[in-house]
Structure 1
Amino acid sequence: MTENTTEFAPGLMVRGATPPLRLSEFKLIAFDMDSTLINIECVDEIADAVGRKDEVAAITEAAMRGEITDFKDSLRRRVALLKGVTVADMERVLAERLRLNPGADSLVKACKAAGMKVLLVSGGFTFFAHRVRDMLDIDFTRSNVLELEDGANCGQLTGRLVTQSWGDICDGAEKRRTLLEVASLMNIEPSQCIAMGDGANDLPMMGAAGLSVAYHAKPKVREQAMVAINEGGLDRLLELFA
């Protein structure tokens, strides 16, 4: 975020848009999940259960910075390292580590009050995405399914993902396709969508939306977003709207 960028308020940068904007001009807001709507990278935290957090987190960080360009390959590598993680381990991550990021509830409620629909589209996992959906009353979700096999504590991970009707892995291209698919189902234009994320695999959907928002994001993402929230909570986006 360099050319024609202005600091609208401390820690809130704007490029290519002129506040005040109007929520009524938008009909859909799409969120990444891990490190955007929630405070953790779920794959890193569940890897901790089998003593592989550092190894998995290093791959996650490189993928988010855009240094690993094949997100699908990077996710398969990370998921393979999760083999043996139990459902009980994942439940502990949910209970003890997963929290909504500041302002998530306020922003979602404001968007819904303005008549918008909410989409959660994640390179993470349904086990967590469905809980976040229920916490925030989100309308649409798309994320990856971890394969389970029988075992103690209600089952354990095989180290593989389950293929769904739309494909096997929700990567950057699939995030973009999902945003456009939901917009089409709603009979709205991509320009009526807001897309919010923090990592390199969010850039395709952010590029397709009428308003792209980087939240505490990697440098590559901040540079390309129309709005960058570098300080404070998700609801700081509302400062740009009348």
Structure 2
Amino acid sequence: MPAPTVRFLLVLDADSTLIRNEVIELLADEAGRSAEVTAATEAAMRGDVDFASSLRSRVSALAGVPVTAFARVLARVEPTPGARELIAAVHERGGRVGVVSGGFHEILDTVAPQLGVDIWRANRLTTRDDTLVGSVDGAIVDAEAKAAALREWAAEAAVPLTRTIAVGDGANDLRMMAVAALGLAFNAKPTVRAQADLIIDRVDLREVIPLLP
């Protein structure tokens, strides 16, 4: 029996889009370095600094955090209002949902399937002796990697780019939003709002449902 045809692809950012939190800030709490990491995250999301360099710097602040902290962080993660409803609506219409994140697989691998996400990609943290080393394992998921993921997932599902939607809040989402047929700024920084096709101010992902094909 042939695989069902995928009608369209919706790709979301994770932190501050699919979920309300910035996971790296929650992890920084565990290291007692929340204030400095929060400030650095804000700068990266505004586009003031290079994302990859900023992420390496912020992850270095996590050195020494035990991997047992992931369970505590997961307990604090809050899905954005409307996340489940949006994902269900995409599936009802024959679409697929992807999440591509500058955050971490260690959290997204639990959160994404719980919410019904079909495919996801994020960074991985290097560990040694059940402790974070303070570095990213492998290539960093930056703006270009997000755009590449959207293209790749669309090709795999035989979905033309004209039937893709990207949703994000930070400067590192702009390239995937430009690749997609519709780029939505959700609860977004001014740089993103200025370049998006549409702006969604209300922090409720159900606002995206009327825009689905």
TM-score by length of 2: 0.94
Amino acid at match of 2:153: V
1:26 is displaced (CA, Å) by 5.4
Number of residue pairs matched?
A: 209
Q: For the residues of structure 1 that align with 2:114 and 2:67, how far apart are their CA atoms?
A: 20
Amino acid at match of 1:66: G
Q: Is the 8 A contact 2:184 2:196 kept in 1?
A: yes
Is 1:71 aligned to 2:51, yes or no? yes
Is 1:161 aligned to 2:141, yes or no? no
Q: For the residues of structure 1 that align with 2:114 and 2:91, how far apart are their CA atoms?
A: 14
3-state SS of the aligned residue for 1:87? Answer: coil
Q: For the residues of structure 2 that align with 1:144 and 1:182, how far apart are their CA atoms?
A: 17
1:229 is displaced (CA, Å) by 1.0
Q: For the residues of structure 2 that align with 1:74 and 1:51, how far apart are their CA atoms?
A: 18
3-state SS of the aligned residue for 1:195? Answer: strand
Please name the residue that 2:3 is paired with. Answer: none
Encode CA deviations 1:188-209: one digit per residue, 9 max, x unaligned: 2111110000000000000000
Q: For the residues of structure 2 that align with 1:87 and 1:241, how far apart are their CA atoms?
A: 38
Please name the residue that 1:62 is paired with. Answer: 43
Q: For the residues of structure 2 that align with 1:183 and 1:218, how far apart are their CA atoms?
A: 26
Please name the residue that 1:13 is paired with. Answer: none
Encode CA deviations 1:103-133: one digit per residue, 9 max, x unaligned: 0000010001101011110000001111121
Q: For the residues of structure 2 that align with 1:133 and 1:51, how far apart are their CA atoms?
A: 27
Q: For the residues of structure 2 that align with 1:231 and 1:38, how far apart are their CA atoms?
A: 14
Larger radius of gyration: 1
For 1:151-230, list aligned pairs within 5 A: 155-163=130-138, 168-230=139-201
TM-score by length of 1: 0.83
3-state SS of the aligned residue for 1:237? Answer: helix
Please name the residue that 2:25 is paired with. Answer: 44
Q: Is the 8 A contact 1:26 1:193 kept in 2?
A: no
Is 1:122 aligned to 2:101, yes or no? yes
Encode CA deviations 1:160-212: one digit per residue, 9 max, x unaligned: 1111xxxx100000000110011111122111110000000000000000111
Q: For the residues of structure 2 that align with 1:49 and 1:29, how far apart are their CA atoms?
A: 33
Q: For the residues of structure 2 that align with 1:108 and 1:76, how far apart are their CA atoms?
A: 31
1:232 is displaced (CA, Å) by 3.8
1:240 is displaced (CA, Å) by 4.0
Please name the residue that 1:22 is paired with. Answer: none
Please name the residue that 1:136 is paired with. Answer: 115
Unaligned 5+ segments in structure 1 are 1-24
Q: Is the 8 A contact 2:146 2:175 kept in 1?
A: yes
Displaced runs of 4+ in structure 1, greater than 3 A?
A: 239-242
- CA pair 241-177 structure 1, distance change in 2 beyond 3 A: closer
Amino acid at match of 2:186: Y
